[in-house]
Structure formats: C-alpha cells, structure tokens
Amino acid sequence: MTALLDIRDLVVDYGAGNAHPAAVDGVSLTIARGETLALVGESGSGKTSVGRAILRLVEPAAGTMRFDGTDISTLAGDALRRFRRRAQVVFQDPKASLDPRMRVGDIVREGIAIHRLASHAKGDLRVTHLLEEVGLSAADVGRFPHEFSGGERQRIAIARALAVEPEFLVLDEAVSALDVLVRRQVLELLARLQAARGLTYLFIAHDLAAVERIATRVAVMHAGRIVETAETATLFSAPASPEAQALLAAIPKIPW
C-alpha cells in the first residue's frame, strides 16, 4: 500500500543562526491512508513545526514531502490551493482560530466559497449538514463563536475543516484544552468522522495518555527528531527509546 503522506529528511529552521539547532532536524515519516499517526513530544520538540510544514504554513528548509504521490514541498499558486483543499487543520485553541466577528455559518462556508465547491443555495445545505454531522444544529449558523462552549467551538473548527471535503487532517493539540468529558466526546466524534469519511489523521499531542485510544501508530519527537515510531500497543507495552519511556513513566499510575 502506498502512503498518503511520505516525508523524508524534513528540516524546518526558523533562522535563529547556527547557535540554535533547527526546530525540525531531519524528520522522516509516512502515514497510510485511513490511519492515525500520533506525533508526541514535549514543548519545543518540533511536533507543531512538522504539522505546519506539511500544510505549508512554514517553508521547509530541506527535505521532500509527497502527498498521494505528488511533491508538495514546492507547490505554489493554484496547485498549492488545490492541495490545501485536501489537507486541513484543527488547532488547539478555537478561541484564537475562529474569527470572533464571523457567524458560524460564514466560518464553515468560507472554504466552500474559496474552492467554489457549491452554489450558494447548495452551500447553505452543506453547512447545515456539516453542523449536524459534528453534533451542532442548523440553528447555530447565525450565532457567533463566543456563544459556544470550548467543546462546541472545537466542533465548529472541525466542521470548517471538513467543509472542503479533505482527505487528511492535522489535529494539532485539538483536544488538549478541553475538559476530560468533553475531550472524550470530541475524540469519539473524530473517530466517527474518520470511519465515515475515510480520513487520515496526524494527531499532535504532548501527552501520551491522550493518544492511546485514537492512534494507529505513535511517533515520539525529541529535539527536532523522531526518536521512535511504533504501533500504539507496542509503544505502550515496550517503549524502546528513553524519551518514550520518560513520557510513559510520566502518566500518573492510578492505584486501581
């Protein structure tokens, strides 16, 4: 099976000079269609930079990135826009990622309009369906982001990402700011959407415990490099790298 995403020797350097190591320092990874790869590491390990480089929100300094066989590291103009329809992102903080002055309907519709995916009337219907699919209601189109709870706002961000019918989602700490109960509901929603739409996820998190139930495989990052990649069950039962062992040891051991 060919990978949906294949990254080789990716380098992201924010130009702090030679004194500072690169944020991403030679990362290679593949993600198969339909799987969830969790990218886990402490703050500063470079995991968010990997996600941003894939989406071309930061320019990689070196390396190759292939998406469905196409080199995406040098895409520009229309070709880049077409790629971004296929690859979307949900960020950690929906308070920051949703425009507070736009109504929910317009937020979700914007991508449909930019990519000319539907006429206005059909777009309306699509927005309604999306909101219902993520557990909100058609009546929410006229409301503003601040009228929703944190979990509901994250559902809006997910609906916005799905509006352009992507194949691939970068979920960058997408549930980290949520309460445990809300987190569980949003994770269940993401799993349902993945099954229904055949989505592929890159799930970025700082906490191993958060990825146990959603990830197919886990890659552990440290200081700009991937130090271990393993099936989720294997990583939890027999972590090989000191970094994975430390992350696992840090999960509080509840005395059941």
Partner 1 sequence: MNPLLSVQDLHVDAPGEGRSILRGVHLTLDAGETVGVLGTSGSGKTTLALALLNLLPPALRARGRVEFEGHDLRTLNHAALCAVRGRRCAMVFQEPLTALNPRQRVGAQVAEVATAHGEHDAARAMRSAIDLLGRTGLTDPGERAQRFPHQLSGGERQRVLLAMALLLDPALLIADEPTSALDVTVQAQVLQLLREQQRARGMALLLVSHDLGVLATTCRRLLVLHGGRIVEDAPTPQLLAAPVHPHARALVDTVRPAERRA
Name the residues that contact partner 1, by CB under 8 A: 42-43, 150, 179-184, 206-209, 246-247, 249-256
Least distance in angstroms from the C-beta of 55 to partner 1: 24
Q: Catalogue the E-assigned strands of 91-243.
A: 168-172, 200-205, 217-222, 225-231
Is the Cβ of residue 1 or residue 96 nearer to partner 1 in the bound state?
A: 96
Is the Cβ of residue 113 or residue 249 nearer to partner 1 in the bound state?
A: 249
Least distance in angstroms from the C-beta of 149 to partner 1: 9
Which tokens belong to 242? Answer: 């000191």
Is the Cβ of residue 56 or residue 183 nearer to partner 1 in the bound state?
A: 183
CB atoms within 10 A of CB 179: 13
User: What is the Cα Rg of the chain in Å?
Assistant: 18
Least distance in angstroms from the C-beta of 151 to partner 1: 10
Least distance in angstroms from the C-beta of 182 to partner 1: 8
Is the Cβ of residue 11 or residue 191 nearer to partner 1 in the bound state?
A: 191
Cβ-in-10-Å burial (0-12, 13-18, 19+) of 119 comes to exposed
What gap in Å lies between CA 208 and CA 242, rounded to an integer?
14
